[in-house]
Amino acid sequence: QPRRGCLEIREEGGDVFISLQNMPRPFKKMRELDMDKVIKDIAQKIA
């Protein structure tokens, strides 16, 4: 279920890779993420 101010990336089986909850605007935590690093970390975990 989508929620306002939340970003969560998880595997279909339920493993959570990243979870940012209750972010107020302007979503500073999300903007500070290095998405290239996040993607590489997720790819390593699922490989």
Domain range annotation of the chain: 7-46
Per-residue pLDDT at 1: 59
**For the chain, percent of residues with pLDDT exceeding 70:** 96
Please write the tens of the pLDDT for every residue from 16-38: 888 888 887 888 888 888 889 98
- In the structure encoding, which two tokens stand for residue 46, read together? 């699922």
Are 17 and 45 in contact by the 8 Å Cβ rule? The answer is yes
Per-residue pLDDT at 32: 86
* Residue 2's pLDDT band (cuts 50, 70, 90): low
The whole-angstrom separation of Cα 1 and Cα 26 is 21
**For the chain, percent of residues with pLDDT exceeding 90:** 6
